[in-house]
Amino acid sequence: MQKVSRIDPNFQKHMQLEVQGDYAIKKDEKDIDTALKFYKQAATIKPEYFEVYIKMGKCFEKDKDFENATKNFQKAVDLNKTSPWAHFRLGWIFIRNGDRLKGIEHMKKSLSFDPKNADVLTKLGEVLLREPNTFDEAEQFLKRALSIDENIPDALVSMGRIWEKKGNLEEATRCYEKALKQPVTNINAYYYLGVIHEKRKDYKKSIQLFKQCLLVDQEHFGACLHLATLQANAGEAQKAAKYFKHALKLDPNNIPANFGLGKILHSTSDNAESAIPYYEFVIKNDPKHHKAFCQLGIVYLEKGNLEKAAEFLKQCLQIQPKYVLGLVSMGNLLFETGHSKTAAKYHQQALKYNPKEI
């Protein structure tokens, strides 16, 4: 460091400290405190040096200290109002904090100073895609990004989402497949491509893609839930249970995962009661979930608790009077209690709505 300083008189003390901070992060990404120590010293020596505030902001952001990250990015913008990178970082932290309007405003300012920055164009497109009434604008930004670099995985995945929303699954597939060919891809390319193959009833391919997604990110909830459902539909109860349980580790309050695991336990366990807590959780958190009411009715019917079975099946049919399994189950209950004529009416009704489901 001293040798460099002697050779280049412009390599001043604050720059030396900045480089030491950079080196600390490069050596160990978790060594944020050491990097911040050097950056703060650099800022003390030269308070108008806006670049170092961006670096401090990134350290705080990495440490999930969003308040201090925002303060430092704002300081960088205050010191250099035409810095595209300062506006981008401030915009992104606003978005992460939930202030999307401010975030979008600063990201657009960033683009006004650097219109061909493909990374900013991509991020802005991604954000606008999630906003109401900004679909066309999102598409424009993403197309601009891909016109600069046609192989940006994040832009390709978001453009795939655009095509899906337009109903063009062929173009969406092309975008996702191209994203997967890149050296570093966006894992959602596996997920969205898996969903498309699931829609096409190519279940083998969709299962393969969801598994690949989970190999890259074990906490990808969507892939886990889709995989669990596909395995359940394929009759692979043990595999389905494994994925439903993993989904519930990621999100214990998820309604489909609780219901799915309840159904698997109900159909495979020697003790049907093991499914009850999952069904009860569903109806408590979604009082209009007619299928969960029906399944509870079936469990109690199997247990011989006809009063409780009737209670839940009635609630099921109040919510959805044309639910075939509910009608059949109510018919079975009435038959068990000796009301064969009334039971026949429920069975006939079920046949009228959808005989294939019986």
Residues near 269 by Cβ (< 8 Å), separated by ≥ 6? 275
Could you count the other beta carbons within 10 Å of the beta carbon of residue 52? 28
CA-angle at 97, arms to 96 and 101, nearest 5° = 85
> Considering only CA atoms, which of 41, 7, 8, 11 is closest in space to residue 24?
41
Whether 229 is covered by a domain: the verdict is no
**pLDDT digit string, tens, across residues 234-248:** 999 999 999 999 999
CA-angle at 291, arms to 288 and 295, nearest 5° = 125
Hunting for tokens 């969903």 — which residue is that?
A: 195
Query: Which of 64, 94, 115 finishes a domain?
Result: 115
Rounded CA-CA distance 217/230 in Å is 19
Query: Which of 68, 100, 115 finishes a domain?
Result: 115
pLDDT band at residue 272 under the 50/70/90 scheme: confident
Whether 269 is covered by a domain: the verdict is no
- 32 or 145: whose pLDDT is higher? 145
pLDDT band at residue 144 under the 50/70/90 scheme: very high
Whether 187 is covered by a domain: the verdict is no
Hunting for tokens 């366990």 — which residue is that?
A: 269
Rounded CA-CA distance 21/28 in Å is 11
Whether 125 is covered by a domain: the verdict is no
- Using alpha carbons, list the distances in angstroms from residue 90 to 37, 94, 193, 275, 313: 22, 6, 33, 48, 54
Whether 355 is covered by a domain: the verdict is yes
pLDDT at residue 355, as a whole number: 62
Residue 202 pLDDT > 80, yes or no? yes
45 phi and psi angles, rounded to 5 deg: -70, -40
Report how many domains make up the chain: 2
**pLDDT digit string, tens, across residues 289-341:** 999 999 999 999 999 999 999 999 999 999 999 999 999 999 999 999 999 99
Amino acid identity for residue 149 in this structure: D
Rounded CA-CA distance 94/350 in Å is 54
Cβ-in-10-Å burial (0-12, 13-18, 19+) of 223 comes to buried
Rounded CA-CA distance 145/39 in Å is 32
pLDDT at residue 298, as a whole number: 96
Whether 302 is covered by a domain: the verdict is yes
pLDDT at residue 240, as a whole number: 96
**pLDDT digit string, tens, across residues 49-99:** 999 999 999 999 999 999 999 999 999 999 999 999 999 999 999 999 999
Whether 27 is covered by a domain: the verdict is yes
Structural domain harbouring 355: 287-358
64 phi and psi angles, rounded to 5 deg: 60, 25
* Token pair listed for 88: 């981008």
pLDDT band at residue 1 under the 50/70/90 scheme: very low
Whether 33 is covered by a domain: the verdict is yes
**pLDDT digit string, tens, across residues 7-39:** 355 568 888 898 888 888 888 777 899 999 999
Calculate mean pLDDT across residues 245-261: 97
Q: What is the pTM of this model?
A: 0.85
**pLDDT digit string, tens, across residues 161-199:** 999 999 999 999 999 999 999 999 999 999 999 999 999
Query: Which of 97, 115, 133 finishes a domain?
Result: 115
Domain holding 326: CATH number? 1.25.40.10
In this structure, are residues 263 and 275 in contact, taking their beta carbons and an 8 Å threshold? yes
347: Cα within 13 Å, side-chain hemisphere:
12
